[in-house]
Amino acid sequence: NSSSGTKTNTPKEETTPPKTEEKQTTPLTGRAMNGDVINMVDLGLPSGTKWADRNIGALTPANDGQYFAWGELYTKSEYTKDTYEFYTYRIGYTNIGSSIAGTKYDAATFNWGEGYTIPTYSQINELMNTSYTTWTKTSQRNTNGKDRKGYIVRSKKNGKSIFLPFAGEIDEHGKRNEDSYGFYWSSTLESFDNSSKEYAWLLFMDGGYGKIQTWNIMTVNGPVHGSSREDGRSIRPVCK
pLDDT, position 239? 98
CA distances, 168 to each of 122, 174, 184 (Å): 23, 10, 9
Residue 224 makes CB contacts below 8 A (sequence gap 6+) with 217, 218
Q: What pTM, to 2 d.p., does this model score?
A: 0.86
User: What is the mean pLDDT of the segment spanning 229-237?
Assistant: 97
List the one residue out of 159, 166, 163, 197 whose CA is nearest residue 181: 166
User: What is the mean pLDDT of the segment spanning 111-129?
Assistant: 94
User: What is the mean pLDDT of the segment spanning 55-77?
Assistant: 98
Question: How many CB atoms neighbour CB 21 within 10 A?
Answer: 9
Residues 196-206: pLDDT tens digits? 889 898 888 88
d(CA 50, CA 29): 11
pLDDT, position 193? 63
